[in-house]
Amino acid sequence: MKIAAIQHDIVWEDHAATQDHVVPLIAQAAAAGARLIVLAEMFATGFSMRPERIAEDEGGPIEAFLLAQAREHDAHLIASIAQRGADGQYRNNAVLAGPAGLVHRYAKIHPFSHAGEHEHYAAGERHLTVDVDGLRVTVFVCYDLRFADEFWACAADTDLYVVPANWPEPRREHWRTLLRARAIENQAYVLGVNRVGLGGRANYTGDSAIIDPMGRTLAEASLAESVLVADVDRGEVTAVRSRLPFLADRRPGSAGVTADPHRGGTAG
């Protein structure tokens, strides 16, 4: 199965302009045969702490754009959007839009408190794993990458972790290292897609990558807008875990090993 990471710039707080900008990039990924296409965190607006200005209700026009693109290209799209739930709270939701019109949402479990995200967006409480054409895909968002226990909790049911991000240039080596670490320790594919360009007062250098279960980089890019495409195979995950059964040696009770009924679960 081919998957794609779209490393793109964002027009600050202007979802219409950014949507127009990413349309040809999505088409390029689809033309390369990608069945799963991933854009950045808050892909349409940038990582703004003004949800009252940029957020939409769940099912709003930015989500509708993802669905329309999924239908047009017969592919699954993932991107994060600032959204307001039925309870009136704003969340940083990763939306998975399918070509048949099905939508899944994952609310970022770890808002980035260093930038005050927790003051504007409520934390999510549940993991999300979705079957996409036979590939078990688990979705996280940006800062979640620093919390290995969240990834551990989903490892047994995951072939591919997807991490859309707005990860700034000063900590770029953290991003690159943690992506590889999450792949190696969980023996799964990792797709990390980061934006490029200036957003607010931050500079973003991309460093998007697709990494295999052995920690080998299949595709990567830096600085410039890029469409990364790579082949992934659920059978490779099974083979690596069979040949090197490291997951079985995690002690019961270790972080992320014992399922929490409020945090776990799958959707498909």
Out of 56, 63, 108, 154, pick the active-site residue: 108
CATH code where residue 77 lies: 3.60.110.10
Specify burial of residue 266 (Cβ count, 10 A radius: 0-12, 13-18, 19+).
Answer: middle
Model confidence pLDDT, tens digit, residues 34-65: 999 999 999 999 999 999 999 999 999 999 99
Active site residue 58: no
2 noted as active-site residue: no
Asked if 154 is an active-site residue, the reply is: no
- Tens of pLDDT, residue by residue over 76-129, are 999 999 999 999 999 999 999 999 999 999 999 999 999 999 999 999 999 999
Q: Residue 11 sits in which domain range?
A: 2-249
Residue 192 lies in a domain: yes
Predicted TM-score (pTM) above 0.85: yes
Quote the distance between the C-alpha of residue 203 and its chain's center.
20
Tell me if 266 is assigned to some domain.
no
Find the catalytic residue in 142, 150, 154, 220.
Answer: 142
- At 95, give phi and psi (nearest 5°): -105, 130
Based on the structure, what is the number of domains in the chain?
A: 1
Of 41, 63, 117, 150, which is the active-site residue? 41
Q: Is residue 139 situated within a structural domain?
A: yes
Q: Is residue 105 part of a domain?
A: yes
Whether residue 265 is contained in a domain is answered as no
The answer to whether residue 124 is domain-embedded is yes
Cβ-based neighbour number of residue 251 at 10 Å: 7
Could you tell me if residue 264 is inside a domain? Answer: no
